[in-house]
Structure formats: structure tokens, C-alpha cells
A and B are shown apart, each in its own frame.
Chain A
Amino acid sequence: MLLFTLRRVLFGIVLFVIVSFTTMWLLSFSFDSIIGSKLGAAANVDSIAAMKADLGLDRPVPVLYVEWLNNLVHGDLGSSFFTGQPVIEALPSRLAVTLSIVGPALIISAIVAIVLGTLAATRGGAVDKAAQGLMLTGYLIPNLLIAIVLVVVFAVNLQWLPATGYTPLSEDPGKWLQSITLPVIAMAFGGAANMANQVRGTMIDELRKDYIRTLRTRGVPMRAIIIRHALRNAAGPALTVFGLTFITLFGAALFIEQVFALPGFGTYSFNVALQGDFPVLMGLTAWGVGLTIGVNLLIDVANGWLNPKARQY
């Protein structure tokens, strides 16, 4: 189990390096235009070249990358080209906003998905039809549209909840809850639909397996078989979908933050990308990729724990 975890961690680090290097390499094509926008009216071929040399961006990408990685290991992501603020300080507060809507949305999606998917798979008939209808609806409507409808109905017309803005949890838990309620619902809708469909399919496959029948012949009650055996065996594939849904929700948060004017990762990265603030962009990539890989790693390890066979690899 330790070896398994260690191998997964190594794999994650390699992935991180490949993805962040690719991003830097792609961004290197636009160094000239980034510096041009930083210089503004003073931009010309000479001044751009001078500033490029000044910032060290005229060196080959591999050299830049190794330097960046080395600094990263020492907890330094450089400073913003435009504000001079150290990147390492700028990100956590924004990430906290994003995670405070992605986290609850993911948990709610997972709970709804497990209940809905299991009900659909084990009851069949009308319950299954109704559940599938719900899943399809959640999948059909882009969550951007759901967010807008929620704002219009609950914030603008009924005025139950704030339409925009964010209150940190540490400031006022009640207001924090109010400020994340609508965004979380908007995101959980699609996430739950996607995961529930997966849980339903896996459960149906699992319930058709031979060992289920053998357990039935021993007089084990169906409820225990569903919860202890079928659900437990279905947990592996479901966890994988859980990880993918996290990535999807993290992406969806970029839109949702915009609708609710939340000062999160998405809003920030959008503004930064407009300016082409290279050090901050790389910092964003590091966080985004790191988070994605971290979640996948946790899922892999959890899978190994859930499935005795997987521990061998």
C-alpha cells in the first residue's frame, strides 16, 4: 500500500512537470505581446527586446522552466508584472473563495448522486424513469443558464438571497452561507446529474453479478446486500467520476463566479489573462494543475484502499 501510494505520488509529480512546462512553452510564444502591453505606448521593437532581456525572458524556455521550478520548490512564484505583488500571496485568498463553492457543490452532488443513482438502480420502474428524467434535465441545461435563472428568480424577483458578492466565512458565517447558496446550487445541479448517471449504471452492472445471487441464497437481506456489497463495489468507478467532476466543477466555477461577482480564482485568472501577467499565469497554472493532480492522487489512493486488488499495481 505504501509502495502503491509512493508510485502514485511520483506519477503525479511527473504529470505536474509536463503540464506546467507545456503551459510555459505555449505562453512563451506571446512574450512579445505581453511585454508590449506592459510597456503600453512606449512599446517598440527595441524597448520590447530590452525589457525582455531585463526580465530574463530572452533565455530558452527550458532554462526559464528549471528556474521557475526551482523557485517554486523554495516557495517563490515571482511577482506580478503589473502590480509587483508576490504571486504566492495573491492566490490563496482567491482560491479559498473558489473552493468554498466547489467543495460544497461537490459534496452535495456526490450525496444526491449516490442516493438518486442507487434508488434508480435498485427500484427500477417508475422510480428509475423519474430519476433518469431528473438526470437528463441536469445534463441538458448548461449551468451558466441555471445560475442566471437562479439569480433572476431568487435574488432579483424574490430577493431572498444576495445576487452578487462574497462574505468570507471568518467574517460572518451566516452571510457566507447566503453568498454561496445560489452558486453552489447552480453548480451541484449538473455535477449531480452526471455522477448519478454513473452511479446508476455501475450499480446495475454490480447487481447483476453472480456473488449477489449467492449472498441472496444465504438469506442476507437485500438492503444489506445493496449497501454493504453492491454500493461498496460500485464505489471504485464512482470515485473516479468524483475526481473528474471536481475538475469539471472547478472549470464551471470560472463562469459561476462571474455571474455572482465572486472574487474567486476564475474572476482573477480572467483579469490576469487579459493583461498577460506571465508570472501570475504560471502561478495560476501551478495551483490549478497541482489541485487537479492532488485530487486525482487522493482518489487513486482511496481506490486502492477500497479495492484490495488495485493495491497490487
Chain B
Amino acid sequence: MELFLMTLVTGIMVGGIYALIALGWVVIYKCSGVLNLAMGELTLIGAYVSWWLYSTGIPFVVCVFLTIIIGIILGILTERIFLDRLIGQPLLSVIMVTVGLSFFFRGTAMFIWGPSTKTFHPPVFPQESIHVGMLSITPVFFWSFLVVIGLLIALVAFFKYTRWGLSMQATADDETAALSLGVSVRFVYAASWSIAFITAGIGGALLANINGLNINIAHLGLVVLPAVIFGGLNSIPGAIVGGIVIGILENMTGTYLTQIVPGGIKTIVPFIFLVIFMMFRPHGLWGWVRIERV
């Protein structure tokens, strides 16, 4: 029983980080209809930037804030340099550009920081477990989860209550109509990529604290994909729930199934689950079904 609860709690907490990265994915898809295949590499860049800042002796909290600012700058640059000239072009070309971007970012990270595994030194979070009732939680997970919850609330509030958030939702719904009302599509693209850089960056920084940091963190983009599709490609609550569900699934199989079926079962199960789920709900949990009028 205790093992089950522990696995569940850890699953939820890792899932929170997945949710954060999934959210970046959803925001870009929502606003521009583009499946951003460079999401894993955005995570990579964010993780390396925060590690590099931390290694110069800056406190971790400040590192996170700087990562956010650098994320915004990178988002704007990506829009200006790569995406601006693609407005009005077919979506598929834009998606192919994100593939190109993923190689570009990965190459850049390799070039600057090299292939060896980095760790945050000295460790950011204390090593002793926190005891809640009969559970003992590793502080890294606990604090990550708090950061994730805070960011998720901030982002949901941004979309719901600010003028910019509303413009972004409108653009997601009908780009031409939004443009006709003076909503700047360039701004919306830049904002959505900035948000993706921020969520991926912080998610990456937290995961690097848990597992150490090397080029493999880019695979997270793929790990998060089931969460995104499970929740529905354009649903923010869907991304959050999807991330947590995938986190739990992964940890559960890690704890219980790995003994029976050794090997990479942990990473495969979310995808198997996804395939079965999609048979019943092809739009995901809360994805948009186009409103058809008769």
C-alpha cells in the first residue's frame, strides 16, 4: 500500500512537469495550428541555459527568472527570424521548419555545452526527504510540483483574463478574422513561442535537477506527445490532466511491470494506452470537435 501511494505521488509530480511541457506544445498548436516538433529541443535549451546560469553562482530562483526572460527573447527571435516569412504559407511547411529548428537547437546546444552529462552542483534541493504522514517525498519532486502548479495557474489566468490571452484564443479560432480586427498575428506567434520556451525551459530545468542534464532531455518532446494528444491537442486543461495521467502511468509501470517485463516497458506503456484511448475518443479528452452548423 505504501509503495502504491509513493508511486502514485511521484507519478503525479513528474506528471506535473510533463504537463508544463505539454502546455507549451498546446499553446503553439492552439494559436497557429502548428505541431511544434522542436518542443524537446526547447526543453533542452531551457535546461542548459538554467544550468549554465546556476554554474556561474547565481541562486536557482534567480536562474529560473532569467530562464523565463531568455525564453521570451528566444521566442521573439524565433518568430522574427524563422516564422514571420511563413505567414500565409501551408501549415506543413511551417511544421517542417520546426523539424529544422529542432536540429538547429540540438546542434547549437551540443556545440556550446558538449555531450557530457551535467549536474547541478551544489545540489539545488536538499537531499533529506520530506515526510508527509507515512509518505516520504524527495524535495526535488515536491518543489518542482509547487513551481509547476504556480506556473499553470499563472498561464490559465493569462488566457482567461487578459486582453492578450483573449487575442491569442481568437487567433486560434480564426486567424483571418482576428487579423481583420487588428490583432497582430506576429505578436500572437511570438507570444506563443515565448510561452513554449518558458514552460519547456522551466520543465527542462526541473527535470535536469532530477535526472541530470544531457542531450537526451530532448527526448522529452516525444515522451510528452501522448500527454498532449490524450488531453486533446488544443485544450489547456487537457494538457494538464494528460501530463499527470501519463506521469502516473509511467511510474506505475516502472514500479510494478518492470519486474515482470524487463526492458523499456516504462516508456512504451503510455503510447499503448494512447492508441487504445484514441480508438474511443479520437479528439482526445477535451479537444475541439469542429462546430458544424446545419
A binds B: no
B residues in contact (CB < 8 Å) with A: none
A residues in contact (CB < 8 Å) with B: none
